[in-house]
Amino acid sequence: MKYKSQKVAYWFWALSMLLLTIQLTYGFIMGFARVGLDGLHQWIPFNTAHTVHLNTLVVWLIAGFMGAAYYIIPEEAETELWQPKLAYLQLIALTIVGVAALTGYHFNYWEGRKFLEIPRELDWLVAIDVILFLVILLMTILKGKKKSTTAWVLFGGLTGAALLYLPGMISFDSQVLDSFFRWWVVHLWVEGVWELIMGGILAFLLIKLTGVDREVIEKWLYVVIGLTFLSGILGTGHHYYYIGVNKIWLIIGGIFSALEPLAFLAMTLWALSMYSKGEKKHPNKLAIFWTLNAAIVAFLGAGVLGLAHTLPQTNLYTHGTLVTAMHGHLAFWGAYASIVFAIMTYALPNLTGRKVYQSVRGKVAFWLSNIGILTMVSAFAAAGVAQVYLERIMGYEFGAVQNEIKVHFWVLIIGATILSTGIILYIIDFIKYGLPTDEALEPA
């Protein structure tokens, strides 16, 4: 590492890995409930498991992004973080809010709005925490020697994510309005500003790993995020087809969500072409694996599988079925989980001074987790298509159909086991790297 204060990133990522473990555990609780093994129902009913699963996902990714920002911004701005002690305070506050929210979910303390279940009182604490985080980053950039595009894009994405949290804090009596503005947060996060964060991290990794000129990488970064917003903002319309608002969204949502894969395709081509142009001399091959994985699987999961059910004619049948879960799992894995793994894999040797790049465990972790998630996605696809056919086309009752497709949930559990094995191996590697140390500081 180049600046001592970058060490704080490690602790955010440690929190990420802890939350990911909880996410997987609660995923298993749901998977087993789906095949009828719901012995924990009394203590952890499905809605609790589902909420913990989604919220740990969101928070581990955000903690991952925060770690990434604390690692990247000092290096990009060429200065130590502004007030690193405040960054540790921010981490502690985030952890406390997370623990409070997760505990509350077991005692009916939540807002039943998918992805935004954190209760209103805790929302304010989240807001304060995020403002502190952004102030630390902004002050660092402003006092730095360099103002790079990568740093500004990353900061812009994180600021956008914070601002877009606000519409989710408005309370509505109407389910239609509730749903409408819930998507301002969820959609404009994952198919909007989070892609800026991803683009910023990806640009940083490509600059470091390929050796291609920064100006070239950052030029294409603008093109990628330009395409993201051009398609993604109006693409929000695909959530508005069938929730009780005007028909105009069928046209707008249909056209712009058909364009959304282009942004992801551009990202894939950008990463692959920079890699092929580069020197391929960087020893951290695993970081390159994860970086390219993010760029490629994001296109498959978010782009291709999104397009598979996003046109209104298809979505009329698939809306509210497991087909959505199919797309969601690969999209989150490709775009966001993989980019967090990529930056961690790149940074851990630098933070700890343990320059181990060819870990067999690391490679097995990479392949197992990818094979596992693809197995899960296939299971969701089979279950989803069968559900659409039986329930929406043949007109059978929901419960009867769920029993009919039970076998796919067993495949889901097998996939989840493979994925979890990969993740456990990754976490073992994470721990084996040891703690970050000032001794790892590179001479200026």
Partner 1 sequence: MLTKQQAKLFFLVGTFVTFAVFIGLTIYSLRQVQTNLPEDVARGKHLWEKNNCMGCHTILGEGAYYAPELTNVLKRRDVNFVKGVLMSEKPWDLHGRKMVAYGFNEQQANDLIAFFKWVGTLNLNGFEKVDRTVSPLAKDRMKDQSN
Report, in Å, the least distance between residue 62 CB and partner 1: 21
Neighbours of 406 (CB within 10 A): 12
Q: Which residue type, as a one-letter code, is found at position 49?
A: A
346 backbone φψ class: left, alpha, beta (φ>0; ψ -120 to 50): alpha
Residue 245 and residue 436: Cα distance in Å, rounded? 52
Report, in Å, the least distance between residue 139 CB and partner 1: 24
- 233 counts as binding partner 1 under rule CB under 8 A: yes
102 alpha-carbon distance from chain centroid: 19
Distances (CA, A) of 276 to 285, 288, 384: 14, 12, 38
Report, in Å, the least distance between residue 263 CB and partner 1: 11
DSSP code of 195? H
Which residue number, 234 or 307, has a Cβ lying nearer to partner 1? 234
Considering only 48, 310, 369, 420, the residue that binds partner 1 (CB under 8 A) is: 48
Report, in Å, the least distance between residue 64 CB and partner 1: 24
Distances (CA, A) of 286 to 267, 382, 415: 20, 32, 22
Report, in Å, the least distance between residue 175 CB and partner 1: 6
- 443 counts as binding partner 1 under rule CB under 8 A: no
Judged by CB under 8 A, the chain residues 177 through 216 that form the site for partner 1 are 177-180, 215
Using CB under 8 A, count the residues that bind partner 1: 75
CB 356 within 8 A of CB 392: no
Report, in Å, the least distance between residue 190 CB and partner 1: 15
SS3 content of the chain, % helix, strand, coil (to 5): 80, 0, 20
Stretch that binds partner 1, among 121-129, 200-208, 221-229, 412-420 (CB under 8 A): 221-229
Report, in Å, the least distance between residue 395 CB and partner 1: 4
- 110 counts as binding partner 1 under rule CB under 8 A: yes
Distance separating the N- and C-terminal Cα atoms of the chain? 10
Judged by CB under 8 A, the chain residues 319 through 348 that form the site for partner 1 are 319-322, 324-325
Query: In 3-state terms, what secondary structure has residue 163?
Result: helix
Considering only 107, 246, 360, 443, the residue that binds partner 1 (CB under 8 A) is: 246
CA nearest 286: which of 213, 370, 222?
Answer: 370
Considering only 108, 121, 128, 166, the residue that binds partner 1 (CB under 8 A) is: 108
- 41 counts as binding partner 1 under rule CB under 8 A: yes
Which residue number, 92 or 223, has a Cβ lying nearer to partner 1? 223
- 99 counts as binding partner 1 under rule CB under 8 A: no
CA nearest 267: which of 316, 197, 177, 167?
Answer: 197
- 229 counts as binding partner 1 under rule CB under 8 A: yes
Residue 285 and residue 444: Cα distance in Å, rounded? 25
Cα torsion 178, 237, 298, 165 to 10°: value is -30
Judged by CB under 8 A, the chain residues 68 through 97 that form the site for partner 1 are none
Cα torsion 339, 341, 342, 348 to 10°: value is 140
CB 235 within 8 A of CB 195: no
- 103 counts as binding partner 1 under rule CB under 8 A: no
Stretch that binds partner 1, among 18-26, 40-48, 56-64, 127-135 (CB under 8 A): 40-48
Which residue number, 13 or 110, has a Cβ lying nearer to partner 1? 110
Which residue number, 231 or 291, has a Cβ lying nearer to partner 1? 231
- 139 counts as binding partner 1 under rule CB under 8 A: no
- 249 counts as binding partner 1 under rule CB under 8 A: yes
Considering only 176, 407, 428, 435, the residue that binds partner 1 (CB under 8 A) is: 176
Q: How many helices (H) and strands (E) does the chain have?
A: 17, 0
Judged by CB under 8 A, the chain residues 115 through 134 that form the site for partner 1 are 117
Which residue number, 44 or 63, has a Cβ lying nearer to partner 1? 44
Report, in Å, the least distance between residue 117 CB and partner 1: 7
Judged by CB under 8 A, the chain residues 377 through 416 that form the site for partner 1 are 391-395, 398-400, 402-403
- 427 counts as binding partner 1 under rule CB under 8 A: no
Judged by CB under 8 A, the chain residues 252 through 271 that form the site for partner 1 are 252, 256
Q: Where are the alpha helices (DSSP H) in 144-213?
A: 149-164, 175-188, 194-210
Convert 232-252 to b/e letters by CB count within 10 Å (16 or more is b): bebbbbbbbbebeeeeebbeb
- 421 counts as binding partner 1 under rule CB under 8 A: no
Both tokens of residue 357?
């790049």
Report, in Å, the least distance between residue 433 CB and partner 1: 36
Considering only 240, 333, 336, 426, the residue that binds partner 1 (CB under 8 A) is: 240
